[in-house]
A and B are shown apart, each in its own frame.
Chain A
Amino acid sequence: MGASHTVLKGGGILAGYSIHVRPTLSSRESINARELGPSFVGGLEDPGYLAKTAGFVDTRVMDVTPHFRETCIAWIEAMEFFEEELRAELDQSDYRDELRNKKDMLCGIDKGLLMRSLIVCKKEG
């Protein structure tokens, strides 16, 4: 976020979706969340605070987790529907890895550990 703040013009906007751990998790829950989520999910626990620390103003964090959950389910269902073709085309470990990745994400959401937000913030100026 700090790097984005630097390259933005004054008044410019940083906007995007990000998966992150839910704030106020216990230590054990945080560890579990990091295991289930994407590679660097642990570094984005409080996007609003991080945006402020990076120098942004007018930060809005909008929870899009329900839609994210539907997206995960859609991926899993589609990958299982085409399992035979995918296994024939891909390296076996690649298919398993990708499917597990999606299922872990869904598990993290359903356990209340992971969420996804649309984060919009502005550089003053």
Chain B
Amino acid sequence: MLFLDDVFLARIMLFSSRYMILWSSAINEKYREHLERQRRRYSRPRDVWSKVERHAFGRDVGLNGYTSPSEAKDLVEFVGVPGPVLDLGSGGGWPGKEILIKSEQRLVVAMDIVLDGLQESQRGMADTGDEERFRCVVGDGQSLPFAAESFGLVLHADALC
């Protein structure tokens, strides 16, 4: 899922072939299991999980990890320097949606290695009115497919573990 409608994102193509080679050589069994678990999460029926989430946190935000609504609120307060925002290991779009809403005029790039999550994330952004500032990229966090010094802010929620 790669959008090439501006110069910044066109630079990604320069790195995409290198990224694919690195990605395939870095996969190991534990990583495969982790990816499979993530994919299963995005194929679950939303109705019952929405109930679980509302019971646990009082809200239905597509939360599938450990970042609570109050923690998401703290995270999106970081500003960095002017430039696009990278949501690293964006999953299904939480807390990515909060990031997009709070980032005010900045391009937000969601990156994850699981395509299913990015697709769910994109669907979730449709009601923000800001989806034209939102991009999705399939990528591996260990070998980011972006040019150096592309982002003013990188945010993540349980993506490093």
B31, B67, B86, B155: the one within 8 Å of A39 (CB): B31
Cβ-closest chain B residue relative to A93: B40
**CB <8 Å contact, A74 and B155:** no
A-B contact count (CB 8 A): 150
Q: A3-B143, A4-B88, A7-B146 are in contact. Are A17 and B75 (CB under 8 A)?
A: yes
Given contacts A8-B151, A12-B81, A64-B71, contact A79 B52 (CB under 8 A): yes
- Chain B contributes a number of interface residues (CB within 8 A of A) equal to 50
The residue that B149 contacts in the complex, of A7, A19, A43, A44, with Cβ under 8 A, is A7
Assess whether B45 is in contact with A89, with CB atoms less than 8 Å apart: yes
- Do residues A71 and B66 form an inter-chain contact, with CB atoms below 8 A? yes
CB of A31 within 8 Å of the partner chain: no
Chain A residues positioned under 8 Å from B158 (CB to CB): 16-19, 38
CA distance A57 to B146 in the complex (A): 22
Min C-beta distance of B156 to chain A, whole Å: 3
A71 vs B56: C-alpha distance in the bound complex, in angstroms?
8
Shortest CB-to-CB span from B139 to chain A, Å, is 10
- Complex CA–CA separation, A86 to B70 (angstroms): 26
A13 and B33 contact, CB distance less than 8 A: no
Cβ of B83 under 8 Å from chain A? yes
Q: Does any Cβ of A come within 8 Å of B116's Cβ?
A: no
User: In the complex the two chains form, is B34's CB within 8 Å of A39's CB?
Assistant: yes
Asked, given contacts A6-B144, A72-B66, A90-B44, whether A82 binds B81 with beta carbons under 8 Å apart, the answer is: no
Q: Which residue of B is nearest A86, CB measured?
A: B48
Contacts A3-B144, A9-B81, A116-B66 given; indicate if A17 touches B71 (C-beta within 8 A): yes
Partner of A75 from B30, B56, B149, B153 at Cβ < 8 Å: B56
| A16:B157 contact, CB within 8 angstroms | yes
Question: 8 Å CB contacts to B: which residues of A72-96?
Answer: 72, 74-75, 77-79, 81-82, 85-86, 89-91, 94
Whether the pair A89, B44 counts as a contact (CB closer than 8 A) is: yes
Q: Say whether, besides A44-B160, A68-B66, A16 and B45 are in contact (CB < 8 Å).
A: no
Cβ contacts A to B, 6 pairs, < 8 Å: A12-B81, A13-B78, A15-B75, A72-B66, A90-B44, A90-B48
